[in-house]
């Protein structure tokens, strides 16, 4: 794990993002997936929206995933185990990159077949406190035909953008600067499952 954390902070420091295959063990991934599927079957998921507070709206033309927010005060043992891993990333990023990260928020996400999330930034007017995006994919298997890639638009020094497409393969962790890397979820052909979270520069309220 220490090697993974070291690579993440190094890559975020140098490039603004990091991708780590097999960040979690297969056993742990399967347990997290089973827990999420159980919550899904019990109708706990809601259509995701855009905007915060009064500006919150459900906009299926922009994003069509379903989400279930986790409550940091009542995490299940498995969720807690994942948060502890993210805590290691938070501490290391603060030491190395001085990002002043103070808390974490996260939701399970499920993209049904045909769903997507158009290009956006995770930090915007209402959520300036989101500094680093942390995503873990929980899918059992993923192939090119399943589509549903995460497309990142990496800003280049010459003002151009470089496109980087990432398959949401199970166990893979993606970390990036929320205010700097526009990204989208391309339409998926298969149910696509993940935990998406944000390290924030505010305390829990």
Ligand X SMILES: O=C(O)CCC(=O)C(=O)O
> Where does this chain bind Fe ion (CB under 5 A)?
122
Is residue 195 near ligand X by the rule CB under 6 A?
A: no
Taking the complex as a whole, the smallest distance from the CB of residue 111 to ligand X amounts, in Å, to 7
Q: Nearest approach, Cβ of 74 to ligand X (angstroms)?
A: 22
CA diameter of the chain: 49
One of 122, 130, 176, 190 touching ligand X (CB under 6 A): 122
Q: How far is the CB of 196 from Fe ion (least distance, A)?
A: 7
Residue from 135, 138, 193, 195 binding ligand X (CB under 6 A): 135
- Of these partners, ligand X, Fe ion, none, which one is at the site of residue 146 (CB under 5 to 8 Å by kind)? none
Binding flag, residue 194, ligand X (CB under 6 A): yes
Contact indicator for 15, 5 with CB cutoff of 8 Å: no
Task: Judge contact between 122 and 197, C-beta under 8 A.
Answer: no
Q: For the segment 79-108, give every residue that binds ligand X (CB under 6 A).
A: none
Work out whether 150 is an interface residue with ligand X (CB under 6 A).
Answer: yes
Site for ligand X contains 123 (CB under 6 A): no
- The answer to whether 30 and 195 have CB atoms below 8 angstroms apart is no
- Exposure class string for 49-84: b at 16+ Cβ within 10 A, else e: ebeeeeeeeeeeebbbbbbbebeeeeeeeebeebbe
CB of 81 to Fe ion, least distance (A): 24
Quick check: 196 binds ligand X (CB under 6 A)? yes
Residue 150 site contact among ligand X, Fe ion, none (CB < 5 to 8 Å, cut-off depends on kind): ligand X
Q: Which partner in Fe ion, ligand X, none is near 152 (CB below 5 to 8 A by kind)?
A: none
185 binds, among Fe ion, ligand X, none (CB under 5 to 8 A by kind): ligand X
- Applying CB under 6 A, the residues found at the interface with ligand X are 109, 117, 122, 135, 150, 168, 183, 185, 194, 196
């Amino acid at each position: 794990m220490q090697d993974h954390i070291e690579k993440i902070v190094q890559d975020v420091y140098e490039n603004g993002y990091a991708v780590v295959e097999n960040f979690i063990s297969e056993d742990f991934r399967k347990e997290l997936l089973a827990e999420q599927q159980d919550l899904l079957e019990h109708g706990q998921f809601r259509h995701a929206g855009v905007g915060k507070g009064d500006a919150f709206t459900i906009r299926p033309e922009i994003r069509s995933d379903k989400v279930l927010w986790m409550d940091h005060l009542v995490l299940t043992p498995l969720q807690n185990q994942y948060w502890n891993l993210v805590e290691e990333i938070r501490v290391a990023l603060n030491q190395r990159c001085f990002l002043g990260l103070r808390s974490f928020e996260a939701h399970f996400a499920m993209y049904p077949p045909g769903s997507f999330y158009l290009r956006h930034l995770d930090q915007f007017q209402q959520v300036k406190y989101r500094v680093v995006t942390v995503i873990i994919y929980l899918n059992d298997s993923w192939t090119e035909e399943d589509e549903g890639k995460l497309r990142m638009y990496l800003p280049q020094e010459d003002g151009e953008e470089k496109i980087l497409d990432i398959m949401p393969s199970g166990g893979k962790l993606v970390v990036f600067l929320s205010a700097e890397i526009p990204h989208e979820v391309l339409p998926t052909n298969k149910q696509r499952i993940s935990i998406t979270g944000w390290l924030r520069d505010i305390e829990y309220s």
